[in-house]
Amino acid sequence: MTTGRPEDAAAVERELERIVAEAEAKLAEVRRELAERRRQDAQHAEIDRLEEHLGNATVRWEEVRSFFDDVLAQLRRGEDRDDPSG
């Protein structure tokens, strides 16, 4: 019959706790690395779509410019009506 001494059991428990803590730290490191890679992949995907984004921005700018042209035309027509010499 073998009897374990309490100090041996305590040492084994401390070693197991150390191993678990180290494993948890490494797992957290792996998770951080995966998150960083996902972030970089998302950035690369957006860079790959840069031409599409530029195209959308250009279309929107054309719409804004057209809006301003319409506003200016309306304002100028209003000036013509308000001008007694015209």
Q: Which residues contact 86 (CB under 8 A, 6 or more apart)?
A: 80
Q: Is residue 2's pLDDT more than 60?
A: no
For residues 80 and 86, the answer to whether their CB atoms sit within 8 Å is yes
Q: How far apart are CA 67 and CA 47, in angstroms?
A: 30
pLDDT (tens digit, 9 = 90+) per residue, 4-50? Answer: 677 899 999 999 999 999 999 999 999 999 999 999 999 999 999 99
